Amino acid sequence: MAAPAPDPIEQALQLLRLLEADDLDAAIEAGLARFDATVVPGLPPAALARLRAARERLLAAWAARDRHRARNARLARRAEAREARRARPAPAAAARPALPPAAAAALARARARAGRERE
């Protein structure tokens, strides 16, 4: 059986105490990210504003962390792709002839003539 939901006012007061003590880790464990300040009408406006601001800063920090991780992953993928392109062997020079076909034929005829003249 699930534990009963904490009283919103009790939870708000606990979160405020933790934030006042600058114990953000304990505030996160106590449910700061899930806390909905709109369901606690009995708290002073300053306390509600502090809870909202702390929650928004926490969520913004988590979003920034996610963006940073995504950026690092993207940069790593780009670096791997760049290294893979650099590591590819150069195309073999023997794959294409050194001379165009017409020039090769002219050279062969010239060599044949030169060979006949020497005889």
How many other CB atoms are there within 10 angstroms of residue 51's CB atom? 22
Place of tokens 């950026």: 71
- Is residue 103 assigned to a domain? no
In a domain, 97, yes or no: no
Residue 1 has pLDDT above 50, yes or no: no
User: 115 or 66: which carries more pLDDT confidence?
Assistant: 66
34 assigned to some structural domain: yes
pTM (two decimals): 0.62
pLDDT at 15: 93
- Please give the pLDDT value at position 92: 59
Q: Domain residues for 35?
A: 1-87
Q: What is the per-residue pLDDT across 35-90, written as a single tens digit (0 to 9) for each?
A: 887 778 888 889 999 999 999 999 999 999 999 999 999 999 999 999 998 887 76
Task: Give percent of the chain above pLDDT 90.
Answer: 55
* CA–CA–CA angle 64, 70, 73 (5° rounding): 145
Please check whether residue 48 is in contact with residue 37, taking contact to mean a CB–CB distance below 8 angstroms: yes
36 falls within a domain: yes
